[in-house]
Amino acid sequence: MPMLDHRYEWLIGLRYLRAKRSQHFISVITFFSIGGIALGVAALIVVLAVMTGFREELQKQILGVTGQINVRSYSGTVPNYTILLEKIKKHPQVTGAAPFISGQAMLQGARNSLGAALRGIDPALEKEVSALHHNLVQGRMEDLHSFGIILGKNLALNLGVEPGSHVAVLTSAGNVTAMGTMPRMKRFKVIGLFDSGMYEYDSSLAYIHFNDAQTLLRMQPDEVSGIDIMTPSPTQAFQIGKELATNLGPTFSVQDWMQMNRNFFKALQVEKATMFTILFLVVVVAAFNIISSLIMVVMEKGKEIAILKTMGASSSGIIAIFLINGGVIGITGTVSGMMLGLLLAFNLEAVLGQIEKIFSIQIMHGDVYYIDHVPSVVLWNDVGWIVGISLILSLCAAIYPAWRAAGVDPVESLRYE
């Protein structure tokens, strides 16, 4: 190939990116191809970061209220719970275990009467299995004595009470009389408020001492609803739960936190996959723009391609020119989109905060989305997959135009020149 420099593919491939005035339309299509890829990549990075952050934030909030493993009896309640508690604590990887009592109650405050999930706990042991003591915004765990109650901050607000106020707690497990079952009612003093960060818990959950819960729900002194368990890591909970299920026997139900919230986390996984598919179509559309722009370049540059062939350019060299052209478009769009996406993902809360401030709106409503802010966690594996797929798609989009360019017949193209 004596008449061509060995680097001609790069020189010509890059030159074809700069259109002449007569080829302004091709330049516009190239610009939209780069912009489409950039927007698609940026959107994918931001959306996957939000979905990952949403999952991790909900995991954190759930484990802040309950243990990583939950043990219950198939018979309904756990009798002689101290024996079960000691057996569980013998497992070498159990770092904490605490009994709990769960039930439903009606709370009557100064403003409203509302239904709530009632949870009876042992304050001393609860610190081993939940983050309630960290979530308290008012009051102390040590003050949860007889007839004291800790409310979620939204529940307290809706009831119209605050620390020092009193609420009436009514349960259906009342006394049987000639007139029927009379609800059991006790007055409790609000000794603290908690903020778990999860609207569902903050608006419907109340904690009392488990001795009071036994009295309200007519349970025996050695009887509880179940045992919450903590392990060294949430990722170990499944395996440790299987071992405990084997040790405790078939009379007990043992579930880890993922099993207890299986449907919820599956829904999040499906949503993440769906959003990825939808936004990936943006990148696919941009790739079709690459195909159309390169085909137009082939048609416009037909005579130049023919001249290159007469000067000794091989078919593989012509293919390389257009693969370089498509690759540069793909790399430019992908890198631009990656930088924009990472910039937004790492500063998403600040950006959305400014939008909320300017337009006086609230983007995340806690009663709809469980949490009241938009978390963002970038997984570099996700970024790598997005960038890799985008680059491969861009190169694939250039294959057909490159093949057509390689098939240009110099004799036919230059016959009338």
310 and 398 together in one domain: yes
Do 50 and 126 share a domain, yes or no? no
Note the pLDDT tens digit of each residue in 243-257: 999 999 999 999 999
Would the pLDDT of 178 be above 60?
Answer: no
Distances in Å between the Cα of 159 and the Cα atoms of 112, 125, 143, 164 are 5, 28, 21, 14
DSSP characters for 174-202? EEEETTEEEEEEEEEEEEEEE--S-HHHH
Q: Are residues 274 and 404 both part of a single domain?
A: yes
Confidence class of residue 261 from pLDDT cuts 50, 70 and 90? Answer: confident
223 and 158 fall within a common domain: yes
**41 falls within a domain:** yes
Maximum separation of any 2 CA atoms in the chain, in Å: 111
DSSP state of 78: B
Letter string b/e over residues 370-391, b meaning 16 or more CB atoms within 10 A of that residue's CB? bbbbbbbbbeeebbeebbeebb
332-386 pLDDT, tens digit per residue, is 999 999 999 999 999 998 888 888 788 888 777 666 666 777 889 999 999 999 9
Residue 184 lies in a domain: yes
Whether 256 maps to a domain, the answer reads no
Query: What pLDDT band is residue 1 in, cutting at 50, 70 and 90?
Result: very low
- Mention every residue, 6+ apart, whose C-beta is less than 8 A from residue 364: 371, 372, 373, 374
For residues 327 and 375, state if they share a domain: yes
Which one-letter amino acid corresponds to residue 76?
G
Residues 173 and 212 in one domain: yes
Give the end of a domain, one of 188, 212, 230.
230
Are 268 and 343 part of one and the same domain? Answer: yes
Does the pTM of the predicted model rise above 0.85? no
Query: Mind giving me the DSSP string for 367-397?
Result: HHHSSSS------HHHHHHHHHHHHHHHHHH
Q: Does some domain include residue 295?
A: yes
Up-side HSE of residue 344: CA atoms within 13 Å toward CB?
A: 19
In a domain, 168, yes or no: yes
- Residues 78 and 53 grouped into a single domain: no
Average pLDDT over residues 149-162: 95
| Same domain, yes or no: 268 and 405 | yes
Q: Which domain-ending residue is among 171, 206, 230?
A: 230
pLDDT in tens, 27-56: 777 788 889 899 999 999 999 999 999 888
149 is in which domain, residue-wise?
69-230
Q: Which helix (H) or strand (E) holds 244?
A: helix 237-248
- Specify if 364 maps to a domain: yes
pLDDT > 90 in the chain, percent: 48
- Residue 2 covered by a domain: no
In this structure, are residues 384 and 54 in contact, taking their beta carbons and an 8 Å threshold? Answer: no
105 and 173 share one domain = yes
Q: What is the pLDDT of residue 2?
A: 47
Report the domain count for the chain.
Answer: 2
Site of tokens 């990722």: 235
**Same domain, yes or no: 17 and 111:** no
The tens digit of pLDDT for each residue in 180-223 reads: 555 778 999 999 999 988 888 999 999 999 999 999 998 999 99
Residues 206 and 92 both lie in one domain: yes
Give every CB contact of residue 344 below 8 A, 6+ residues apart in sequence. 42, 45, 46, 351
The answer to whether position 258 is within a domain reads no
